Amino acid sequence: MTQPPRLGRFPLGLDQVQPAGRTGPLTAQTVLRPQRPLQHLAKDAARKVVPSGLGLDSQPVRLRMVQRLRAEGFHHDAVLSAFATVQRHLFVDTALATQAYEDTSLPIGLEQTISKPSVVARMLALAFEGEGARARGHLGCVLEIGTGCGYQTALLSHLSKSVVSIERLKGLYDKARENLMPWRGADIRLVHGDGRLGHAPRAPFDTIVSAAGGEDVPQLWLDQLAEGGRLIAPAAHPLRGGQSLCVVDRSGQGYSQTWLDAVNFVPLKSGRS
């Protein structure tokens, strides 16, 4: 089985408290050192083992998913390359691993789901159509609302300069932290917090992507969107009702809003738990 990619020079940033008895800044060694007893780590490793003979760790399996996406009209090379690289089956429970590369959403616990590959590809492709991303050739500094299991976060790490990802549910935050620890990313920071508030300490963001849909697009997200930036989020359509993808672009003249496909995302909620 192919080993997960080694950590790059940049540590995975985790907004968390210091380990007991330790002071000073969190270094890469501090962040990545397992804090759980060895017997629990063994159980975690066992849960991640995909049944043998399925070939899910092979690139051809992911390439078949990419070919389906291309056949459906997705042609952005950087997005397709990220899909070909990130092993989606490592982000879902072992019992669902055989479905990892189908175009279907899957449960990840706590009444949340990992979105269909085609839906994720649609949102990332839309992000690249923004003025700033076209000029840069990448998504710049990204704010992701709703980390979930961390799969989209891993994709974004291949497409951007940095990623701040916010998850309100502690159980999923912990799961994403575990899933993403071995993942090589230029700059990934996980935050356990209220996604509706955005993340002012790292603002402004060139790209904002939400994996949860609310009644509106929070004003704080708009405030934290950089000039030339683009925001993609599901929200309640003001005329036809139900969720639709909302795209907001910010320029020197203000904001412009476009409504696109009808979608069905988990609800965007305030607070954290």
Which of the residues are catalytic? 115
Q: Which residues are registered as beta bridge partners of 239?
A: none
Q: What is the 3-state secondary structure (H, E, C) of the chain?
A: CCCCCCCCCCCCEEECCCCCCCCCCCCHHHHHCCCCCHHHHHHHHHHHCCCCCCCCCCHHHHHHHHHHHHHCCCCCHHHHHHHHHCCHHHHCCHHHHHHCCCCCCEEEECCEEECCHHHHHHHHHHHHCCHHHHHHCCCCEEEEECCCCCHHHHHHHCCCCEEEEEECCHHHHHHHHHHHCCCCCCCEEEEECCHHHCCHHHCCEEEEEECCEECCCCHHHHHCEEEEEEEEEEEECCCCCCEEEEEEEEECCEEEEEEEEECCCCECCCCCC
Contact 182, 94 (CB under 8 A): no
Which pairs count as long-range contacts for 25-32, CB under 8 Å and 24+ apart, including other chains? 32/7, 32/181
The residue written with tokens 């359509």 in the block is 237
